[in-house]
Chain A
Amino acid sequence: MSQDALPAVGLDASAGRSSRRDLARRLAITVVPILVSLVIAGCVLLAVGVDPFAYYGFVVQRGLLSGLGLQQTLTRMAPLLFIAAGLIVAFRAGIWNLGGDGQFLLGAVTAAASAPLLVQVLPAWLALPIAFVIAATVAMLWSLLPALLRAYQGVNEIITTLMMSFLGVSLANVLVKLVFLDPSTTVPQTRTLPVPDRLPRLFETTVTSGLVFGVVAIVGVHLMMTRTAFGLKLRTVGANARAAVHAGLDVPVLVSAVFALSAGLIGLGGAIDVVGTQGNVRADWNPAYGLAVIPVVFLARMNGYAAIGFVFLLSVLSIGGESAARRLGVPQTFTLVLVSIVLITLAIAEYLDHRFDRARRV
């Protein structure tokens, strides 16, 4: 792995026992780039004739401060948290799983196909978990080829996962249109899971309980990566594959496990979104969460707890952005612009910090 020599964003895989000054520095190189990015993105808004303050204000109002908006934001977090969890496993182990969109959609379609059938014959508490397992399995299978190619042939997983992602998105569409088509509707879509059979909502809100699963998943992944022997093995493979061999770790098996875990979690994300919120999958539905969450995971420096916060921010931006698209006429793609500017400024900040750090030590 060449990356371990670089001041790469978030590839610092140390166990996270940092001193208070370290923490302050980390906070600074997170917050400052975000502020700078808000300014730059604001300039973009100005350039297209939108008042950035009005826009940011509206997004915060709709995504965060209004009751309904906040509930939508929290609901949106559920699938994103699963994707983030899957990406954290992969990135911490040095595996670039860029195939999230395909894995997510296949998980979603599988769940959408199986859940409505399962609830007819089984009680919901049993049917839904089975649907989840099937969805995760299908997503895992979809990552099998890149996993084997990477583990045993050394083929770069960036390309293979991207290709499998394009294939997965198309396959999901084919499945919706040909195999799992609901014959009772004219729109091509899968059978709809009746609302009572979906994941329950939390208390008296519209927030899905999928949020709880998502938080459990990402916290679980974080604890696994930081507190368990298995997680340390994965991090060792990611940080220095030669050291992993030297320490006697079975690197190909671990790499395959990483792919399976990562894809499985992302596929679960798709299933949770369908079973909890969407109820079915329409043809050509592709929210492209996979690529959008990647920057979030970098921003969080692959820390699960931080990722919860950043996923929340992304959800606010995305729900608020959807509202803004309708009301202010600023298309949602502005969120992408903002996130990518944040990612670039963050990388620069980390580079500067690294240089500063090196200069201080020599």
Chain B
Amino acid sequence: MDGLLSTSFLAALLFGAVTAAIPLLLAGLGEQMSEKAGVLNIGIEGMMIAGAYLGFVGAYYSESFWLGFLAGAAGGVAVAALMALLCVRIGLNQIVIGIALTLGLEGLTALLHHFQFSRSYPRLPAAAVTPIPLLSDIPVLGPALFRHHLIVYLAVAAVWVMIWVYRRTQLGLNLQAAGDKPAALDVAGIDVVRTRTAAVLFTGAMAGLGGAYLANVGAGLFIPFITNGAGFLGIVLAMLARGRPLWVLAGALIFGGCLSVTTAAQVAGVNIPTDLIQMLPFLAVMAMLVLFGRRASLPAALGIPYERGAR
């Protein structure tokens, strides 16, 4: 009898946690940049599902995971461009447009999927893993953490890239100013709208990548509504992390862990409904909001379109 705590099970559990965390990490890092720049990007769920669909289509037809990721990111950017045009440039309500984009893209991708793949339900081959020499030989942790697709390591590395961008670069300063005091950025001679647009496009790229990962690496195929709220979780991660990329990583791993437990419990045949376990990450979010909600200080100008010299 292979107990629940056998090493291979534990390794699978951790492996699953990482796999489930990566899309959340990518979405959270992306959303974080939008929020830093003062845009509440509710449309991220739509960007993610666009990325998932195009990522899958790209990988399926090109037979290259990398082209798939590229296509996924491009899909996210395309949706983000629409969002930036409507919300940042002409200042439409970010919530209304965000909901519309999410619903529309969920519908559209499901529709396209139906006509293309509903008869064959093609799967991608398992993604090639890149074991990290030496580290991947550590028992339990090796196979759990160091035998992933290259994009996983890149996503984690992105955390430190973001830290560097926010702390050390001019871009980081500009983003912070665009969210905290857009007028200050404007009088310093930097275009606020352009800065925010760039942030939204980056969010699109990251969300698209996250979606593509979800479909191509996580599931190996595209299913309608595959993102199932992952984008919204990204928003919550970004809100709770308050501009700190490392916190997004930590939060994504916690959520990923919860999701992985769900799958593992199913595999192990544990007799509790998966719904109960699926509630864990959301319960954690609500608990954190109750405890720290008041202090979840968001950028001062979040959600407010910038109008120069408005009075």
A163 within 8 A of B: yes
Nearest A-chain residue to B42, judged by Cβ: A158
B303 within 8 A of A: yes
Whole-angstrom distance between the Cβ of A43 and the nearest chain B Cβ: 12
B67 within 8 A of A: no
A183 CB contacts on chain B under 8 angstroms = none
B127 within 8 A of A: no
Which residues B117-135 have CB closer than 8 A to chain A?
A: none
Interface code B83-112, partner A: CB below 8 Å = 1, 0 otherwise? 000100011110111011101111110111
B309 within 8 A of A: no
A66 within 8 A of B: no
Which residues B48-104 have CB closer than 8 A to chain A?
A: 86, 90-93, 95-97, 99-101, 103-104
Q: Are B279 and A336 in contact (CB under 8 A)?
A: no
B276 CB contacts on chain A under 8 angstroms = 170, 174
Secondary structure class of chain A's binding surface, majority of residues: helix
A156 CB contacts on chain B under 8 angstroms = 239, 298
Interface code B9-41, partner A: CB below 8 Å = 1, 0 otherwise? 000000000000000000000000000000010
Given contacts A159-B235, A340-B104, A351-B92, contact A153 B293 (CB under 8 A): yes
A96 CB contacts on chain B under 8 angstroms = 95
Q: Are A163 and B285 in contact (CB under 8 A)?
A: yes
Instruction: Kindly identify which residue among B97, B236, B278 contacts A163, using a CB–CB cutoff of 8 Å.
Output: B236
B108 CB contacts on chain A under 8 angstroms = 44, 333, 336-337
A12-20, A207-215, A291-299: which lies at the interface: A291-299
B304 CB contacts on chain A under 8 angstroms = 2
Q: Are B236 and A295 in contact (CB under 8 A)?
A: no
Q: Are A149 and B290 in contact (CB under 8 A)?
A: yes
B290 CB contacts on chain A under 8 angstroms = 145, 149
Q: Are A336 and B97 in contact (CB under 8 A)?
A: no
Roughly how many angstroms separate A335 CA and B108 CA in the complex, as a whole number? 9
- How many residues in A have their beta carbons less than 8 Å from beta carbons of B? 53
Whole-angstrom distance between the Cβ of B117 and the nearest chain A Cβ: 12
Q: Are B103 and A167 in contact (CB under 8 A)?
A: no
Roughly how many angstroms separate A258 CA and B219 CA in the complex, as a whole number? 41
B283 within 8 A of A: yes
Nearest A-chain residue to B91, judged by Cβ: A6
Which residues B256-280 have CB closer than 8 A to chain A?
A: 273, 275-276, 278-279
Q: Are B93 and A8 in contact (CB under 8 A)?
A: yes
A309 within 8 A of B: no
Nearest A-chain residue to B228, judged by Cβ: A166
A336 CB contacts on chain B under 8 angstroms = 103-104, 106-108, 110
Instruction: Kindly identify which residue among A145, A153, A337, A351 contacts B90, using a CB–CB cutoff of 8 Å.
Output: A351
A81 CB contacts on chain B under 8 angstroms = none
Given contacts A2-B303, A163-B285, contact A11 B111 (CB under 8 A): no
